[in-house]
Amino acid sequence: MSNYDVVDLIIAKRDGHRLTDDQIKWFIGTYAAGDVIADEQAAAMAMAIFFQGMENEELNVWTTAMIESGARLDLGNSGRPTVDKHSTGGVGDKITLILAPLVVACGVAVPQLSGRGLGHTGGTLDKLEAISGWQPFVDNESMRAQLRDVGGFIAGATSDLAPADRKMYRLRDVTGTVDSIPLIASSIMSKKIAEGAEGLVLDVKTGSGAFMQEFDQAVKLARTMVDIGNANGVNTRALVTNMDTVLGDAAGNAVEVQESLDVLAGGGPADTIEITLALAREMLDVAGIDIDPEPFLSDGSAMEVFEKMIAAQGGDLSVPLPVATERHIVTAERSGYLKRLDARGVGIAAWRLGAGRARQEDPVSPIAGVVCHAKEGAKLSEGDPILELHLDDVDRLPRALEALQGAIQIGDHPVEPSALILDRVV
């Protein structure tokens, strides 16, 4: 591989030129190695990509170089088709906790590497850590054993998967270059492809509580990621789903685990069930399995798998989930119909209560969160409960209530809840 002057590459991309395959491989490999390319130069490249974008083939090479900067996870032979799922994140998005064991119960191996929350969107690992004893990080051999013996796992990603992306992401977070479709797509897909699953189903959220708030941009991101996955031999498809309001009835950590257990027991909110089943059907279709997943929720099969998955990583579901020491009810200021329950406002409230973090190293409270007593379309009388705020530090309450100003809108006329599934990209 040739050596290049990194400034020449930055200028080329700044001026809208396509980087050659060899230039991309050199840039990513050299930056990951930690020498020659300084952080400020990598940040300049990210900003150039932010403004100029990348051609499809250029982005595929960039993503492959990200993958090749580290190891690929060897999943071994589970005897089943392997399909993963990724969500771009939202408020109340506990779907992975239900979906993974459900799809395993249907005969698919699910290797699910997840992350922590940042800002108003929750993280799967933070939620599961509300379960007594559960450990998020397991070694590769344990992952393979659990995939073989239980059929799936939910775990934290190891540091050797796409390390170049980890370095680039830290820079993007502090340089205003997070909101770039090529950089988002390559970041997500480099890690997912490195996991080694045969198929991947993406849940791309759009709306006020989503990372990608505009529908057209969400579809573009979904299309970009699907194309990258398929170009790398991973059968990939995406659903674009609504994140204008809270998904389910809970946003937080322990409260979302409890809602997940309710769904796995055959109950739970209708919207949580709808999204779970839609994604399950896509994962089963990718795996070539033609069965209806819905009965596997009601007959206890998915719950049995979830219990095994949790126990395999040290978790004990017989220990009660932690509960809030303080609760505050937000009530309807007048009678009418709940016209809007803004996802971002509720998510920021949960974050300020302690359920989320501002920096990756910040701790989170397992009990903090928000429980919805009413959702969009509900008929309300003055004083009816709408939200229940869970917290263990009353000093956090005022700022959480500030986040809800304007998030709750009550109208005079009935409203229909918005559609949950907005598009499908294959």
Q: What is the CATH number of the domain that holds 298?
A: 3.40.1030.10
Q: Contact at 8 Å (CB) between 241 and 357?
A: no
Alpha-carbon gap, residue 52 to 238, rounded angstroms: 25
Count of alpha carbons within 13 angstroms of residue 364, beta-carbon side:
30
Catalytic residue among 13, 80, 85, 86: 86
CATH of the domain at 363: 3.90.1170.30
- Quick one: pLDDT at residue 378? 97
Catalytic residue among 69, 180, 187, 190: 187
Catalytic residue among 85, 167, 191, 396: 191
Q: Which amino acid is at 79?
A: G
Alpha helices in 56-162 (DSSP H): 56-68, 95-105, 124-128, 140-149
Three-class SS of residue 14?
A: helix
- Quick one: pLDDT at residue 359? 73
Per-residue pLDDT tens digits of the chain, which is 426 residues long = 678 999 999 999 999 999 999 999 999 999 999 889 999 999 999 999 999 999 999 999 999 999 999 999 988 888 899 999 999 999 999 999 999 999 999 999 999 999 887 677 878 999 999 999 999 999 999 999 999 999 999 999 888 889 999 899 888 878 989 889 999 999 999 999 999 999 999 999 999 999 899 999 999 999 999 999 999 999 999 999 999 999 999 999 999 999 999 999 999 999 999 999 999 999 999 999 999 999 999 999 999 999 999 999 999 999 999 999 899 999 999 999 999 999 999 999 999 999 988 776 778 999 999 999 999 999 999 999 999 999 999 999 999 999 999 999 999 999 988 999 999 999
Q: What length does the chain have?
A: 426
Q: Are residues 234 and 110 in the same domain?
A: yes
Q: Are residues 291 and 383 in the same domain?
A: no
Asked whether residue 71 is domain-assigned, the answer is no
Asked whether residue 296 is domain-assigned, the answer is yes
In this structure, the strands spanning 250-252 and 369-372 are antiparallel
CATH of the domain at 31: 1.20.970.10
Asked whether residue 63 is domain-assigned, the answer is no
Domain extent, residue 37, equals 6-53
Residue 187 among the catalytic residues: yes
Alpha-carbon gap, residue 110 to 95, rounded angstroms: 14
Q: Are residues 248 and 297 in the same domain?
A: yes
Q: Which amino acid is at 295?
A: P
- Quick one: pLDDT at residue 1? 61
Alpha-carbon gap, residue 371 to 324, rounded angstroms: 11
Both tokens assigned to 197: 């699953």
Q: Contact at 8 Å (CB) between 130 and 366?
A: yes
- Quick one: pLDDT at residue 171? 87
Q: Are residues 282 and 380 in the same domain?
A: no
Asked whether residue 396 is domain-assigned, the answer is yes
pTM for this predicted structure: 0.95
Asked whether residue 348 is domain-assigned, the answer is yes
Q: Contact at 8 Å (CB) between 52 and 151?
A: no
Asked whether residue 125 is domain-assigned, the answer is yes
Q: Are residues 141 and 29 in the same domain?
A: no
Catalytic residue among 165, 203, 249, 271: 165
Nearest to 292 by CA among 103, 109, 425, 419: 103
Both tokens assigned to 25: 């491989």
Residue 413 among the catalytic residues: no
37: left (phi over 0), alpha (psi -120 to 50) or beta: beta
Considering its fold, how many domains does the chain have in total?
3
Q: Are residues 284 and 393 in the same domain?
A: no
Residue 86 among the catalytic residues: yes
Asked whether residue 346 is domain-assigned, the answer is yes
Three-class SS of residue 408?
A: strand
Both tokens assigned to 259: 């809602």
- Quick one: pLDDT at residue 207? 97
